A and B are shown apart, each in its own frame.
Chain A
């Protein structure tokens, strides 16, 4: 039974595999100081931004790709990648000016910018490749003093904020991929919530890779000032490609006193075909800082895509009484590899963190949880609870857990629990006997397993995430 079904699963093609024929403005492939200057010039950036990019680029040249992850990463030729692509008709002012092909792409993905977003109350800063194409709801948010725009616009219109906070959480020297991003980042989103403002809607960005051999280097910066609240959604799908695509994004979050930020991701980049050809390499640096007292940060992620995922949304708990959460479902199938988890750095007093990680492996994939809980000497009464569960489908996949703990204060309470389980044929047959097909049975069981994380997602995302889990694992039973 398992052999047949495993075979079946490998025949499921990526459902969002199509490309849009849009004229793309690509600069020549390869990376050099000239390319960095060219990117900056194309974006009409001020000198300080160019200086930042060059500083990062020069540092990057001294760095090596990290090798500590439980990943088998093919050699990446950084000189064969194009580092900038923008739809040719730059920054249309209204929907009429948007390339109809682009609109169609979003429709195929089930993301009609207008109706659905308006109905669900989401403002979308839609990023197609590199340049922000269209922003909705900006005006109504503007009345509250909320800034929600592309990163490029923020550089132009809010340079003081960008200069103050950019790279304040993830330094340009942080790691190989983050430093690369600092040098060549294309665009991304910028959010500023002023003091005392509760953002009235979920802010949302859909990312999508859509140019041959174009690396994606988004940069997102979210600042929640004192006593503010914002919930931010990031979701992505990518078209089918044979070439591997490099994706090295940075997300930085700053939560000031009493501020709360929720960041939710549904990641569905192209995972490669059933034989492990192609797929996105996803090397992401996501980090937030609970800077002020009583601030709160929560990461929720549903990771179903990418050939390789290297991602550790983390939190620095600096402010006293601050708290952080990390909820994750990571699904790997076929030849996918994921090494993902979180870092919780407790610095302030009475800080608490909660980690809930659910890994699901199928096919011949490898799925690792890697987490660090670090309690600094001054972090009195720190509290952490971590739970890491693994679910295996079939007997050719792998699940690994690498929890690290560094406790330097005796008042800390740190707990870790882990389980590993397997969907077995008896469970599937039991469902079959009640009239539930094998596909639906796997969906039921997997969603049951992941529901504690899915429940943390905003409603619209939760539904999408449930579907994604089922699509990703269709037929994979062992």
Chain B
């Protein structure tokens, strides 16, 4: 589904990704862990086309298409979803209006008619239950005045609405208490299917107790330096990152 080869990217001239390669197939959950500043969030930004970052080298294909040539909105329409670490507030724009615009843009991309208001509201009702989201949130402005937990739940709600092929969860666990974490993780698990995939970016093992990864990768200094199964996450939790740094820097 997603094939990243030797990806280099920088922001304001500073190179962050230094030859990252990763392959994600349908039905898989990949966890990406690593110390602060390793480039975890940069990876999510680059994959989604954030204009603040410049790709200098490497290829990314997504379902056979050259992802790097697509505009950010087209990457979304192709089925890439990012659950933001810090979702922004958009005052004055209601969640309903925002989501309806997004859903209909996705439909237009697939040459489908816009969704009728009643169908849309029905879908919204269903998906809200998935993350136990308050009815009132949908009538408020996008993320405005939402608590940290509400913002993250709202991200997963949007993910459910847009039904992506590849979801990137960027530190979705940060700022969540244990109940909110469980709700968010349950939502993600319910959305899992054999034909979609997720990349879960996290600092901590605890999210992976809820969202069980098929693969765990360690990102350090702009590259994936170690890959393994779920047990790697446990090892990292126990031993920290220093032994990996030593392994890499020692070479």
**Which residues of A are interface residues toward B (Cβ below 8 A)?**
1, 421, 424-427, 429-438, 440, 444-445, 448-449, 451
Contact = CB atoms under 8 A, between A and B. Distances in A.
B98 to A, nearest CB: 7
Given A424-B88, A429-B51, 14 more contacts: A431-B98, A432-B72, A433-B75, A433-B81, A435-B162, A436-B73, A436-B98, A436-B101, A437-B73, A444-B93, A444-B97, A444-B101, A445-B93, A448-B92
B55 to A, nearest CB: 15
B87 interface: yes
Interface string B128-156: 00000000000001100000000000000
B184 to A, nearest CB: 18
B154 to A, nearest CB: 11
A429 B90 contact: no
A430 B99 CA distance: 12
Contacts of A425: 51-52
A451 B141 CA distance: 12
Interface of B: 48-52, 71-73, 75-77, 81-82, 84, 87-88, 90-94, 97-99, 101-102, 105-106, 109, 141-142, 158, 162
A130 to B, nearest CB: 40
Nearest to B49: A432
Given A425-B52, A429-B51, A436 B90 contact: no
Contacts of B106: 435
A432 B90 contact: no
B102 A434 contact: yes
B97 A430 contact: no
B112 to A, nearest CB: 13
Contacts of B141: 448
A102 B6 CA distance: 63
Given A444-B101, A445-B93, A433 B76 contact: yes
B88 A426 contact: yes
A440 B99 CA distance: 13
Contact of B94 (A426, A430, A433, A448): A448
A448 B72 CA distance: 22
A297 B204 CA distance: 61
B123 to A, nearest CB: 15
A449 B142 CA distance: 12
6 contacts: A425-B52, A431-B102, A433-B82, A435-B77, A435-B109, A445-B92
Given A434-B98, A444-B98, A444-B101, A429 B50 contact: yes
The 7 lowest CB-CB distance pairs between A and B, nearest first, are: A448-B92, A432-B72, A448-B93, A435-B76, A434-B102, A435-B105, A1-B51
Given A1-B51, A444-B98, A433 B92 contact: no
B101 A440 contact: yes
A433 B82 CA distance: 7
Contacts, number: 77
A193 B208 CA distance: 72
Contacts of B97: 444, 448
A17 B195 CA distance: 51
B39 to A, nearest CB: 18
A424 B90 CA distance: 10
Contact of B73 (A1, A435, A444): A435
Given A1-B51, A448-B94, A449-B92, A432 B71 contact: yes
Contacts of B101: 436, 440, 444
A444 B101 CA distance: 9
Contacts of A440: 101, 105
Contacts of A430: 84, 87-88, 90, 142
A454 to B, nearest CB: 11
Contacts of A427: 88, 90
Contacts of B52: 1, 425
Contact of B105 (A421, A436, A451): A436
Highest count of chain A CB atoms <10 Å: which of B71, B90, B99, B162: B90
A437 B101 CA distance: 10
A284 to B, nearest CB: 28
A55 to B, nearest CB: 49
Contact of B91 (A1, A432, A448): A448
B172 to A, nearest CB: 15
B93 A436 contact: no
Contacts of A432: 49, 71-73, 76
Contacts of A444: 90, 93, 97-98, 101
B88 A433 contact: no
Contact of B72 (A421, A424, A429, A449): A429
Contacts of A429: 50-51, 72
A373 to B, nearest CB: 25
Most buried by B among A435, A438, A440, A448: A435
A445 B76 CA distance: 19
Contacts of A424: 88
A435 B48 CA distance: 11
A444 B73 CA distance: 15
Nearest to B93: A448
Contacts of A435: 73, 76-77, 102, 105-106, 109, 162
A444 B109 CA distance: 19
A433 B51 contact: no
B46 to A, nearest CB: 12
Nearest to B102: A434
A448 B142 CA distance: 11
A421 B144 CA distance: 14
